Amino acid sequence: MATTRTTSPTEAAHHLRRGNLVAFPTETVYGLGADAFRPDAVRRIFEAKGRPADNPLIVHLRRQEQIGQVAARIPPVAQHLLDTFVPGPLTLILPKHDNLPSVVTADLETVGIRVPRLPLAQSFLEACDTPVPAPSANRSGRPSPTSWEAVEHDLGGRIDCILQGGRTDAGVESTVVDCTTDPATVLRPGAVSVESLRRTLGEVQVASSDADAAPRSPGTRHRHYAPSAQVQLVEDPSEAASGDRHAYVGLDAPAHTDALGAVYIEEDVRTYAHDLFHIFRVCDENEVEVIYAQTVSPTGLGRALNDRLRRAAAR
Ligand code: TXA
Ligand code: MG
């Protein structure tokens, strides 16, 4: 299949309306979308990514008024979060509407919804004029795509269209919050910090990210975000072993920079999160064997960054 590239959100939306798969940018990462009410098209998302069928998709909407098309109701905590953080990098888990095809939610009774903030994503969703389920637009298990080039690398020839935008802003995915529990539960840390959720809601639980615990968010069961290179977490840059095919990424610079194949020093946690998945992909292109990645203080965006680093390092 030929993959069309376009910078036109209306042209991309035409593809989607015809039952095709379209990758599009958001403020977090690129997503791979289909029309929510064409189950065959939604099924093809799973095929194109090699995604396990038990992993539900997040439904993207242009505006909050569309929530009633996919969710049965909006619990009070969810309304509070909508008023404060939406549009933005937050996904709310709500009770599912009966009319929404079950392939979207992997047969769950709940549905994840998100209204992106990126103007190009909004123009695209406006032109689609239908809810758009979309996982990250990478092959399953690979780092999420933060550029259209990364989408093309993973899915070129397997999808119909790529809406070309710039590099994504956040670089880590949305925060997933289950609003059907009391208090609300963070299922996946992401671009909206747990601290800011607590400032809005008061109490918020955080689901265990322990791989052995039965996770509430099906997607967190699977290996994720991983480059082909082996990722080793370090607290101190001196722990990075010297080697031509060794890379280092972190906030603190190692003393032995010359003894490493590549060194990426990040200014702060924000730029680190923004760059991480891109660096993973560059390292793969350069056949790096080991990436030493420095963990950060687990507050704010640091919680999401550490989560992605740990998952990338898990074998
Ligand atoms: O930032 C993002 O969220 C990006 C962009 C494209 O919006 N999307 C994204 O989708 O990261 P994906 O499919 O790669 O990750 C969605 C996560 C998975 O862990 C999935 O299991 C969880 O959200 N999820 C989706 N629907 C759910 C539901 N009904 N209940 C629990 N978890 C759900
Ligand atoms: Mg993903």
Residue type present at position 256: H
Q: Is the CB of 118 under 6 A from ligand 1?
A: no
In sequence order, which ranges of 24-117 are alpha helices (DSSP H)?
A: 39-49, 76-85
Show Cβ contacts of residue 162 under 8 Å, excluding neighbours closer than 6 positions.
3, 4, 5, 6, 22, 23, 24, 148, 151, 152
Please give the angle made by the CA atoms of 149, 152 and 153, to the nearest 5 degrees.
85
For ligand 2, the distance from its centroid to the CA atom of residue 113, given in whole angstroms, is 15
Ligand 2 centroid distance, CA of 144 (Å): 6
Best mutation site among 114, 118, 124, 176 for ligand 1 pocket (most ligand atoms within 8 Å of CB): 176
**Ligand 1 neighbour 136 (Cβ under 6 A):** yes
Residue 231 neighbours by CB under 8 Å, 6+ apart = 280, 290, 291, 293, 309, 312, 313
DSSP state of 57: P
Measured in Å, residue 246 CA sits from the centre of ligand 1 at: 32
Residue 57 CB-half CA count within 13 A: 34
Task: Classify domain 4-213 at the CATH topology level.
Answer: DHBP synthase (3.90.870)
Determine what percent of the chain is predicted with pLDDT higher than 90.
93
pLDDT (tens digit per residue) in 71-109: 999 999 999 999 999 999 999 999 999 999 999 999 999
- For residue 300, the model assigns a pLDDT of 97
Q: What is the distance between the alpha carbons of residues 302 and 269, in angstroms, rounded to a whole number?
A: 6
Q: So what's the pLDDT on residue 55?
A: 96
Q: How far is the CA of 55 from the centre of ligand 2 (A)?
A: 10
Tally of CB atoms within 10 A around 299: 12
Rounded Cα distance between 188 and 304, Å, is 8
The residue whose C-alpha atom lies closest to atom 10 belonging to ligand 1 is 135
Q: Point out the ligand 1 atom lying closest to the alpha carbon of residue 55.
A: 21
* pLDDT band (50, 70, 90) for residue 216: low
Residue 91 CB partners (closer than 8 Å, separation 6+)? 58, 112, 113, 114, 174, 175, 176, 177, 188, 190
Instruction: Output the pTM of the full model.
Output: 0.96
Looking at residue 225, its pLDDT comes to 77
Tens of pLDDT, residues 12-65? 999 999 999 999 999 999 999 999 999 999 999 999 999 999 999 999 999 999
Strand order in the sheet with 205-206: 132-133, 58-60, 110-114, 90-95, 175-178, 185-188, 205-206
Centre of ligand 1 to C-alpha 92, Å, is 10
**Measured in angstroms, how far is the CA atom of residue 58 from the centroid of ligand 1?**
5
Phi-psi region of 133 (alpha: psi -120 to 50; beta: other; left: phi over 0): beta
For ligand 1, say whether the CB of 32 is within 6 Å of any of its atoms. Answer: no
Which ligand is located closest to the Cα atom of residue 222? 1
Cα 124 to Cα 243: distance, rounded to the nearest angstrom: 45
Domain layout of the chain by residue ranges: 4-213, 230-313
Residues 61 and 114: beta-carbon distance below 8 Å:
yes
CA distance 140 to 47: 10
Q: Which architecture does CATH list for 230-313?
A: 3-Layer(aba) Sandwich (3.40)
| Nearest by Cα to 15 from 41, 39, 47 | 41
Partners of 132 in the β-ladder: 60
Task: Please state, in angstroms and rounded to a whole number, the distance separating the CA atoms of residues 68 and 76.
Answer: 15
Ligand 1 contact via 188 beta carbon (within 6 Å): yes
How long is the chain? Answer: 315
